[in-house]
Amino acid sequence: MLHDLGLDALGLDLSPAMVAHARRAQPMLRFNEVRMEALPVEDSALGGVPAHYSMIHTPPEELPALLAEQVRAKAQAGSLLASFFGTEGPQPVRFDHGVAPAYSWPTDRFAELVAGGGLVTMARLLHDPASERGFLDTHLLARRP
């Protein structure tokens, strides 16, 4: 979608299988296998960081460092869009998710971690767990003040 809008899009994923799938599906785009904790870009190189459920397998104690790396990589005026499973409790909740454990996060708690990285939450979108998806689906948009 970003490419179709005329933007220079780059796809990054830890999974070799997901990168291979993306390359087959969109051969005109660039996809690389990398860890989110060590993005292979210079400071402020990315216009924005859409992190669509890509942080869900990160243990809570490691998430601040991962978020700091996203902030380092994005441009000053760029945004971070993080999508994750939400929970209404006060703490992250570990659950089984396919190949690896995952975590759902209280929206306010996740927003506090984002703020700790120097970003301000601009918008939140929550999908009710009673919806057809069956869980609290959370999206948080943040940028530098």
The band of 121, judged by pLDDT with boundaries at 50, 70 and 90, is: very high
Per-residue pLDDT tens over the stretch 19-40: 999 999 999 999 999 998 999 9
Beta-sheet strand order (sheet of 74-85): 46-52, 74-85, 137-143, 120-127
Q: Is the dihedral of CA 94, 87, 80, 32 positive or negative?
A: positive
Q: What is the pTM of this model?
A: 0.87
* 86 found inside a domain: yes
Q: Which residue range forms the structural domain that includes residue 60?
A: 47-143
pLDDT value, residue 62: 95
* 62 found inside a domain: yes
**Rounded to an integer, what distance in angstroms lies between the CA atom of residue 96 and that of residue 59?**
13
Domain harbouring 65, CATH code: 3.40.50.150
**120 contacts 142 by C-beta, under 8 angstroms:** yes
* 39 found inside a domain: no
Per-residue pLDDT tens over the stretch 91-118: 999 999 887 899 999 999 999 999 999 9
The burial class, CB within 10 Å (0-12 / 13-18 / 19+), for 136 is buried
* 42 found inside a domain: no
